[in-house]
Amino acid sequence: MEARLNVMASPVAAKAMKHIIAAHKALDDSTLPASTRELVMLRASQINGCAGCIDMHTKDAAAAGETSVRLHLVAAWREATVFTDAERAALELAEEGTRIADAAGGVGDEVWANAAKYYDEDQLAALVTQIAVINAFNRGNVITRQPAGDYQAGQVH
């Protein structure tokens, strides 16, 4: 499979993408656990059907020590017993934040309150930003049909 467009070859798109990449990298300095960030990025990417991001975040999470069981169960996190309550709250926020058009009114107050039980204001800000950033990456990759499978863990970081 070949991508429809090389975004980084376009001066305008490359400039915009560099800002999105910088936003993503800035989140590395947050106190939101890296494992939570990877799970959230993986779940949003699954929902959006972004093969490139699923490839990347599965491999990066595994390289960082995430278990294959947890990675395989992200898509069914509600029924899985391997996630903490805090991770469940983050995954639920990621799902509602990704499926905004599916939920009249966007992210529900109950979902937000649940996330706020486990994460402080800075971590919530990082979580919201991470969800927004991964959705931007997902949409760009899906629109341009970026291929998946060749990513090497740590290639982007």
Q: What is the average per-residue pLDDT within 91-115?
A: 91
Quickly tell me which residue has 């949409």 as its tokens.
Answer: 139
Where do the H-state alpha helices sit in 27-120?
34-48, 51-63, 68-73, 85-98, 109-118
The predicted-structure confidence for 57-101, as pLDDT tens digits, reads as follows 999 999 989 999 999 999 999 999 999 999 999 999 999 999 988
In a domain, 55, yes or no: yes
Return d(Cα 68, Cα 56) in angstroms, integer: 14
pLDDT at position 149: 65
The predicted-structure confidence for 135-154, as pLDDT tens digits, reads as follows 999 999 999 888 776 767 76
8 A C-beta contact, residue 57 and residue 43: no
Q: Which residues contact 76 (CB under 8 A, 6 or more apart)?
A: none
Whether residue 19 has pLDDT greater than 70: yes
Percentage of the chain exceeding pLDDT 70: 96
Alpha-carbon torsion angle 133, 139, 145, 149, nearest 10: 40
In a domain, 120, yes or no: yes
Domain encompassing residue 23: 10-144
What pTM does this model have?
0.91
In a domain, 154, yes or no: no
Residue type, 122: D
Which two tokens mark 125? 């800000």
What CATH number is associated with residue 48?
1.20.1290.10
Reported confidence tier of residue 106, pLDDT bands at 50, 70, 90: confident
Split into its structural domains, the chain has a count of: 1
Measured CA to CA in angstroms, residue 2 lies from 5, 17, 106, 142 at distances of 9, 20, 35, 12
In a domain, 36, yes or no: yes
In a domain, 43, yes or no: yes
In a domain, 155, yes or no: no
Whether residue 104 has pLDDT greater than 90: no
Reported confidence tier of residue 157, pLDDT bands at 50, 70, 90: low
Which two tokens mark 90? 């983050």
Return d(Cα 40, Cα 91) in angstroms, integer: 6
pLDDT at position 122: 96
Query: For the chain, what's the residue count?
Result: 157
In a domain, 151, yes or no: no
pLDDT at position 154: 65
Closest by CA to 57, choosing from 78, 43, 75, is 43
In a domain, 24, yes or no: yes
pLDDT at position 8: 77
Whether residue 34 has pLDDT greater than 90: yes
